[in-house]
Amino acid sequence: MANSLLNPTPPSEPEDYDYGRRPPGGSPPPPAPPRRDGRGPGRRGLALMLIVTALGGGVAGAGLLLLTGAGDGTTTTTTVTTAPTAAAAQRSDASTGLDARALYANANPGVVDITSRGITSSSSGGGSPFGGPSQSATATGTGFVVDGKGHIVTAAHVVEGASSISVKFQDGTTRTAKVLGTDEATDVAVLAVDPSGLTLHPLALGSSASLAIGDQVAAIGDPFTYDRSLSTGVVSGLDRTISAPNGFTVAHAIQTDAALNPGNSGGPVLDASGRVIGIVDQIATNGSSQTSSGVGFAVPIDLVRSELSKLEAGQTVRHAYFGVSTSDLGTGTAGALIQSVSSSGPAASAGLRSGDVVTRIGSAAIKGTNDLVAAVAAHAPGDRVQVTVKRGSSTRTVTVTFGTQPTQAAQSGQTP
């Protein structure tokens, strides 16, 4: 699916989503910035690179490295500290500026460093956006504590396929982590560590729904393994559509100019009060640069919050499925053009076909692909909705019963 908000090329030239698990690029000493060697699949236009992780900004090391379980405590006491939100004393509304020093002091204890060992990727890609040479390696990313039970949220691609995972806290304590649940449709994972003996600092969850362009934000993470780095910026855009690891699209993504680089993946994006409003996920590149371009994306926390309890319980999160690939019609023309229809999918069963222009789903007006993705995401499998389309000079309304999104899209960036 072409991403009209980020890709200036025509809809016939879809973006290539490079999720980045690349060959090791070495670990050069500072101050020279680490580089990431190796190339992924060919790119056209402006590619989105999923910020994965890693020593030297990519995947480091070869061979299967097993976790030894360092850092297991011997006590049975868990301390939970609820830190005040950043600048709470002087900030009472959105007009007050972000106090970066106070925000960092309060939020940093709730951020964790994640190391995933035994990551494997396939050179063929097999339709997966992960692509790249076949290898087993170590990847690093970021996460954050969400409660006093030892639950940690990160991006699914940080831990996908790992044979072992370790989490390091601010005080240097390291614990073995296990994956409780993942959702590749939103690129979110919940991990669990034994909380005994730890002092936990859960981060408060804010709301991505209340954001406005220009709002100040901050990100804490481990870019290029420079651990616990702070970057600040603003909300540059809202309701963006980005590609998920399963090849479908994520709705309502937050765009920011805060510096995000490999290793930031899974870390928190925070509002001026220190509340988590998104999870770092991707950056836009020009096909050659693999560092911050000033165009980064986060999965919105409201989307994560809606499925958090299911992931903590190890349950499968199911998403509505329409069964189409779409593109925008161009400036000044409303609607999402159906480019292809999945055979036997919900849209096909309702009689929709390539060339139809979707203008409404239920009560939601569809101005373009982003609106369509958001409208489908607002529903659940089994929901019956009225869908209005233009076909040539006529307009018709059909009833569509949404299905359940497949585990993998037929092509990267496919509309739900």
Give pLDDT tens digits for 363-413.
Answer: 999 999 989 999 999 999 999 999 999 999 999 999 999 999 998 877 665
Bridge-based pairing of strands 199-200 and 79-80 is parallel
**Do residues 41 and 125 make contact, with C-beta atoms less than 8 angstroms apart?**
yes
pLDDT confidence band for 414 (50 / 70 / 90): low
Q: Which of 151, 157, 201, 252 is catalytic?
A: 157
Predicted TM-score of the model (pTM): 0.74
Say how far apart CA 160 and CA 143 lie, in whole Å. Answer: 14
Whether the CB-CB separation of 223 and 236 falls below 8 Å is answered with no
φ, ψ for residue 100, nearest 5 deg? -60, -40
CB atoms within 10 A of CB 348: 15
Q: How confident is the model at residue 60 (pLDDT cuts 50, 70, 90)?
A: very low
At 271, the amino acid letter reads D
Instruction: Tell me what the pLDDT averaged over the chain comes to.
Output: 76
- The helix (H) or strand (E) run that includes residue 106 is helix 100-107
| Active-site hit among 99, 113, 183, 187 | 187
> What is the rounded (10 degree) CA torsion for 361, 364, 366, 371?
-100
Q: Which helix (H) or strand (E) is 311 found in, with range? A: helix 308-312
How high is the pLDDT of residue 398? 95
* 366, amino acid identity: I
196 burial (CB, 10 Å; 0-12 / 13-18 / 19+) is middle
Catalytic residue among 265, 273, 325, 342: 265
pLDDT for the residue 81? 63
CA distance 245 to 408: 9
Residue 411 pLDDT: 65
Is the model more confident about 65 or about 112? 112
Q: Is the pLDDT of residue 28 over 80?
A: no
319 as an active site residue: the answer is: no
Token pair, residue 238, equals: 């809202």
Torsion of CA 259, 260, 266, 272, to 10 degrees: 10
239-255: pLDDT as tens digits: 888 888 888 888 899 99
